[in-house]
Structure 1
Amino acid sequence: MSGGSGIVILGIFAADTAYTAKRMPHIAETLLGSDFKLGPGGKGSNQAIAAAKAGGKVTFISRIGNDPFGEMALSAYASAGVKANVMRMDGVSTGAAFIFVNEDNGDNAIIVAPGAAGLIGIEDVDANRAEIENAAIFMTQLEQPLDAATHALGIARRAGVTTVFNPAPAQTVPDEIYALCDYVVPNEVEVAHIVGHPVETDEQARAAGDILLQKGTGCAIITLGARGALYHAPGRSELIPAFSAGKVVDTTGAGDAFLGGFAAALSQGQEPAAAVRFGCATAAIAVTRPGTAPAMPLRSEIDDLLRLGS
């Protein structure tokens, strides 16, 4: 690890427009929903806010439009204590997401339009090279262009910064990217896309973890929803159970909450399996609340749940 203590995250902001209903409408059908919420979202942005609220020192790199959704982003970062290294663009909309939330069980389906963040490029990474090189943790995902993510992971790796890669949304990426990653953190759907087989049992998760290690990652962490998360490293494979913090209301931000909590704990020197447990507690609280970024818990709440669950 580098000598830094902060977390740098490259990713997108998207304004979340969340619609709650019994089911998704069919083509040419109009359904009445039971709720609507508007709030800050985007995987990288959610992870940055989650990490900051969990006690991390966080810098977020992105692009947003010069519009009301962009103002929402800046307000969210100011409130959470995230340093926003964010380029504002005229004539391009801020990213936005359509989120369907099932009113019976909180399950979700999402469409993301990255807007300005879809224009994130290598130049954005180079402009923030010093921040990345002096971080403890660098984390990114796949909502912004792949070349920017790969370039940033390479800079971080060469500087001795611990690298965390969330391969979401699921897409095919060159195997070379895995060798740049200390931790690859997919969910069951994303890892199934990577390895080419379903991940529905613990055995299948471990087999998927083996494939990620063979691709060159230092450690695979596979989030398994209500079952918890698999920490899978050379010589150690441990299923870390989920916590319960109350009724599940909305699972939309669960993975981002996990990653933010994990990065915060790791940046503060917790050993990796303990950081996974911290991430599980972070996610358990987030899913009891509606929305994504607004649902992220404070460090004190996470510590309280960890004490109850120990």
Structure 2
Amino acid sequence: MKNGVSILGIFVADTAYLAARMPVVGETIRGSGFAVGPGGKGSNQAVAAARAGATVSFISKIGRDTFGDLAQKTYADAGVTPVLTVMDTEPTGAAFIYVNENNGDNAIIVYPGAAGTIGVEDVEAARVTIEQSAIFVTQLEQPVAAAQRALEIARNAGVVTVFNPAPAEIFPDVLYGLSDYIIPNETEAAALVGFGIETLDDARRAGDALLKRGAGAAVITLGGRGVLLHTSGQSDHLPVFSVGPVIDTTGAGDAFVGGFSAALSAGRDPLEAVRFGCATAGISVTRRGTAPAMPSVAEIEAVLATTH
């Protein structure tokens, strides 16, 4: 029987710098905070899904170094089953994250390191993990050929596929047809469809375009404006969950994807899964960091209970 969530993605060590603004080229400014923690979109999503109650396997590659040790500890603490190749020839990935101290906005540079070498052969080696899961999730931080092969394996095995096309970059059109759910944010959706997502009608037009390309459903996250679940038969807009002051939006998208996928794996219908994802993200933005900000299933259920 298929069970839980498998995720292909990258781990990076997040090095986060808090400051009033970004420096310009050639300028040095004083920051007001610094932290090192676990990150990477796929890794964050794995932690989010596990803390949200799912059985989770995470497929990736890391280096044999201090940041790699951080990855292993992160999965042990979160209850994620690591399916990792440890490399001696490449370092574990790392990310520079600027966080605006006034409003929580962020800018990020990612170097994937060992995870940048994930190939089709690595995906084939994890075939059984993918085929035995109920939900499979991937993104575009690792090479696209690996994402495509993993989606093909999942689809052929009858696993529900979730594709988060982030960061925004060109990928083969075949990936749309391999995606039961495609989950871009408003910036990524705009890059995919070629027009801005300024209104809810724009988001619905974008959803139509993504469905026309073959996606089963489009789930477009709209930042503070909530989330649109758009299928051939329904189009539902759900608002954000405001559970406290927003201090760091860095991991919000990953929190949503992880919570959404966990809810799907638990048998919730898509609309309820979107609500669950919204609650997960709503809690995460009230905390600093990415993986460390992911809420527990009890916290998520408590928020949902107060908003029905």
TM-score by length of 1: 0.99
SS of residue matched to 1:256: helix
Map 1:1-310; keep pairs closer than 5 Å: 3-310=1-308
Shift of 1:5: 1.6
Shift of 1:251: 0.1
SS of residue matched to 1:170: coil
RMSD: 0.5
Amino acid at match of 2:83: N
SS of residue matched to 2:18: strand
Shift of 1:227: 1.2
Segments of structure 1 that go 5 or more residues without pairing to the other structure are none
- Partner Cα separation in structure 1 for residue 5 and residue 67 of structure 2: 24
- Partner Cα separation in structure 2 for residue 91 and residue 220 of structure 1: 39
Amino acid at match of 1:288: T
Cα displacement string for residues 76-129 of structure 1 (whole angstroms, at most 9, x for unaligned residues): 000000000011101311000000001110000000000000000111111111
SS of residue matched to 1:20: strand
- Would you say how many aligned residue pairs link Structure 1 and Structure 2? 308
SS of residue matched to 1:309: coil
Percent identical among aligned pairs is 62
Shift of 1:256: 0.2
- Partner Cα separation in structure 2 for residue 138 and residue 235 of structure 1: 23
- Partner Cα separation in structure 1 for residue 306 and residue 223 of structure 2: 20
- Once the two structures are overlaid, the 10-residue window that deviates more, 172-181 or 66-75, is 172-181
- Once the two structures are overlaid, the 10-residue window that deviates more, 294-303 or 128-137, is 128-137
SS of residue matched to 2:10: coil
- Partner Cα separation in structure 1 for residue 75 and residue 123 of structure 2: 19
SS of residue matched to 2:263: helix
SS of residue matched to 2:27: coil
Cα displacement string for residues 1-40 of structure 1 (whole angstroms, at most 9, x for unaligned residues): xx41210000000000000111110011001010001100
Cα displacement string for residues 130-184 of structure 1 (whole angstroms, at most 9, x for unaligned residues): 1111110000000000000000000100111000000000001111110000000
- Partner Cα separation in structure 2 for residue 257 and residue 112 of structure 1: 18
- Partner Cα separation in structure 2 for residue 258 and residue 50 of structure 1: 8
- Partner Cα separation in structure 2 for residue 183 and residue 264 of structure 1: 14
Segments of structure 2 that go 5 or more residues without pairing to the other structure are none
- Partner Cα separation in structure 2 for residue 174 and residue 88 of structure 1: 29
- Partner Cα separation in structure 1 for residue 293 and residue 41 of structure 2: 13
SS of residue matched to 1:85: strand
